[in-house]
Amino acid sequence: MAKLLEGAPVAEALTRQIKEGVDRLRRFGPVPTLAILRVGERPADLSYEKQTRRQCESVGIRVKQFLLPENSPRQELLDAVEAINRDPGVHGCLLFRPLADKDTERAACALLAPEKDVDGVGVGALGAVFAGEGAGFPPCTAQACMEVLDYYQIPIAGKRAAVIGRSLVVGRPVSMLLQQRDATVTICHSKTRDLPGICREADILIAAAGQMGMVTADFLRPGQVVLDVGIHREGGKLRGDVDFPAADAAAEAVTPVPGGVGRVTSAVLTRHVFEAAAGVSLQRQQP
Ligand code: NDP
């Protein structure tokens, strides 16, 4: 049986550290504050907002809402982003996506000040991830993968990693973060040939394709560490991109779904808000 890399202890350890940091900061400095910028009332957004708010409150981070009605004119959203950029009392911004209009979404993400871009949505923050320096934070899910590896003391330097998926939300940024920590990374996508063979070669396999159960036994081998980023709803249950019984039988360690990487993501968001408030918006990776 594979070792289960549960997200809860990782999130709890992060939450403890962040709470201590926020307590210290609040004694002498600003109250770290996250702006939530939401357009419309989609149930998934409302539930994510509730969870984010709870996580922020648990560490002493204040949340300020910026709400716009569905079908708001593009300029209103851009004005809201500019107001957030200008507001010295707001340190980070979480823009709920996807938006109905992709061009507007891109413009809003690009306008957000990199030092307040705590979920790495804009080109400035992503540029920092790719360059390894500059203002901005990596997307929280990509960073959550790194937190899981570090918490469980999984060596990264010199290891072969395969990442399935090349989105700017997960696949590409996590590939860069792994490479900055001296892994040799293969970024795979829908046109990759012999995907199972490439994945079998990897010491660390990160599945972020958004295809339920696609990582089957032929992708896996003993000794591998498998991180499952995928989230799918099937018959009221959550499942990942990895065929869990196959990974449990073959790999050395695997994250569960639910309760794996996803559990760590909101804790990472609060750390980014704390760091933004403390003025630590430089890309940094801990060994
Ligand atoms: P996207 O749909 O934006 O990207 C999927 C990527 O996977 C693309 O690069 C695509 O390739 C690649 N891909 C799709 N099918 C295959 C295949 N059969 N073989 C190889 N590569 C494939 O998804 P996201 O990156 O946004 O999300 C990925 C998953 O992670 C989803 O299940 C999502 O729900 C989950 N997620 C989880 C989060 C968490 O906190 N745990 C947060 C964010 C996302 P190509 O580029 O060629 O199209």
Ligand 1, atom 17, residue with closest C-alpha: 190
Cα 153 to Cα 21, 83, 113, 287: the distances in Å are: 23, 41, 34, 10
State percent of the chain over pLDDT 70: 97
- What are the pLDDT digits (tens) for 239-285? 999 999 999 999 999 999 999 999 999 999 999 999 999 986 444 44
Residue 63 burial (C-beta neighbours within 10 Å; 0-12, 13-18, 19+)? middle
**Span from the CA of 58 to the centroid of ligand 1 (angstroms):** 30
**Which pLDDT does position 112 carry in this prediction?**
98
Angle between helices 7-28 and 43-59 (to 10 degrees): 60
**Span from the CA of 258 to the centroid of ligand 1 (angstroms):** 17
Average pLDDT of the chain, as a whole number: 95
| Whether the CB of 230 sits within 6 Å of ligand 1 | yes
Phi/psi of residue 271, nearest 5 degrees: -65, -40
CA distance linking residue 108 with residue 85, whole number of Å: 11
Contacts of 28 (CB under 8 A, 6+ apart): none
Closest-lying ligand 1 atom to the alpha carbon of residue 261: 41
Cα 255 to Cα 76, 129, 158, 252, 258: the distances in Å are: 41, 24, 22, 11, 9
| Whether the CB of 191 sits within 6 Å of ligand 1 | yes
Q: For a ligand 1 pocket test, name from 47, 166, 175 the mutation site with the most ligand atoms within 8 angstroms of its C-beta.
A: 166
- Tally helices (H) and strands (E) across the chain: 10, 11
| Whether the CB of 171 sits within 6 Å of ligand 1 | yes
**Span from the CA of 229 to the centroid of ligand 1 (angstroms):** 9
DSSP 3-state of 194: coil
Closest-lying ligand 1 atom to the alpha carbon of residue 191: 47
**Which pLDDT does position 284 carry in this prediction?**
46
**Span from the CA of 210 to the centroid of ligand 1 (angstroms):** 4
- What are the pLDDT digits (tens) for 50-75? 999 999 999 999 999 999 999 999 99
Q: How many CA atoms, within 13 angstroms, populate the side-chain half-sphere of residue 82? A: 7
| Rg of the chain on CA atoms, in Å | 19
**Span from the CA of 90 to the centroid of ligand 1 (angstroms):** 31
**Span from the CA of 168 to the centroid of ligand 1 (angstroms):** 10
Q: Are 275 and 283 in contact (CB under 8 A)?
A: no
Contacts of 231 (CB under 8 A, 6+ apart): 238, 240, 257, 258, 262
**Span from the CA of 166 to the centroid of ligand 1 (angstroms):** 7
**Span from the CA of 167 to the centroid of ligand 1 (angstroms):** 6
CA distance linking residue 125 with residue 176, whole number of Å: 13
**Which pLDDT does position 28 carry in this prediction?**
86
CA distance linking residue 201 with residue 26, whole number of Å: 48
**Which pLDDT does position 134 carry in this prediction?**
87
DSSP 3-state of 238: strand
CA distance linking residue 63 with residue 120, whole number of Å: 18
| Whether the CB of 231 sits within 6 Å of ligand 1 | yes
DSSP 3-state of 40: coil
| Whether the CB of 51 sits within 6 Å of ligand 1 | no
In the chain, which ranges are continuous DSSP H helix? 7-28, 43-59, 74-86, 102-111, 123-131, 140-151, 171-180, 195-201, 244-250, 261-277
Closest-lying ligand 1 atom to the alpha carbon of residue 168: 25
CA distance linking residue 123 with residue 168, whole number of Å: 10
Ligand 1, atom 8, residue with closest C-alpha: 165
Q: Which residues of the chain have pLDDT under 70?
A: 280-287
